[in-house]
Amino acid sequence: MTSAFKSAPNAAFKTEWHILEPLWQGSETVVKQGLPHDRLSPAWQILLLGDGSPTRHLQLLTRETIEVDVIDMSLIGRDLDGAPNLIKVVPEPRLRRQVWLRTASGQRLAYAASWWDADHVDDYLQNRSLPIWTSLARLRTELYRDIQGVHYGHSVPLERAFGQQGPFWGRHYLFWHDGKPLTLIYEVFSPYLAKYLGSA
């Protein structure tokens, strides 16, 4: 198993986001090469390893508007927060945002945690209840989605939240803007998507 990220432990700050307990992790090299189809189906690879907007993909799959439930906006300062090591390139002080992506009819399809420069987050998320991509598209912000790792593992809180049994597939990536890192994002997708994508 490739270790995709590490961060220094900090007893003073408890990680309160839904990281997967890994069964397997793949690095940027795996992301670029893709996985054998007997490990992950082509349709799931397009969702996980492609650089398109997951919100747009989910809307196309379900034919429903994708809405955001913001469940956390926490100032974490300089803490590494148990996040992928790339959190170090996000300027301090940092803010962690957590959301559910769901259909308008209420089906949760994905979970995302993201880390932002707290001093500038409002420049990009003027309406915090919108999906990140929608907010940035409204501002005509040019972005590059740099996928750095893929994850497969368990999470009891996500099983409860999705109403689906794990293990789950996830990924983490950086958004770049004007040659600088804008935000680090960690996403996990619900197995419910097999209804549209087939078995992973």
Percentage, residues of the chain above pLDDT 90: 60
Residue 36 lies in a domain: yes
End-to-end CA distance of the chain: 19
pTM of the predicted structure, to 2 decimals:
0.84
Residue 3 lies in a domain: no
Range of the domain at 150: 21-195
Q: Are 176 and 170 in contact (CB under 8 A)?
A: no
Residue 1 lies in a domain: no
Please tell me the total count of domains within the chain: 1
**CATH number of the domain that residue 150 is part of:** 3.40.1410.10
Compute the distance between CA of residue 48 and CA of residue 186 in angstroms, rounded to an integer: 11
Can you give the pLDDT at residue 185? 94
My answer on whether omega of the bond before 191 falls inside 30° of 0, hence cis, is no
Can you give the pLDDT at residue 188? 97
pLDDT tens track for 111-153: 999 999 888 776 666 555 555 555 555 545 556 778 999 999 9
Residue 43 lies in a domain: yes
Residue 12 lies in a domain: no
Six token digits for residue 71:
């469940």
CA distances in angstroms from 64 to 76, 104, 130, 191, 192, listed in the order given:
34, 6, 15, 18, 15
pLDDT tens track for 83-108: 999 999 999 999 999 999 999 999 99
Residue 190 lies in a domain: yes
Residue 200 lies in a domain: no
My answer on whether omega of the bond before 9 falls inside 30° of 0, hence cis, is no
Residue 8 lies in a domain: no
Beta bridge partners of 73: 97
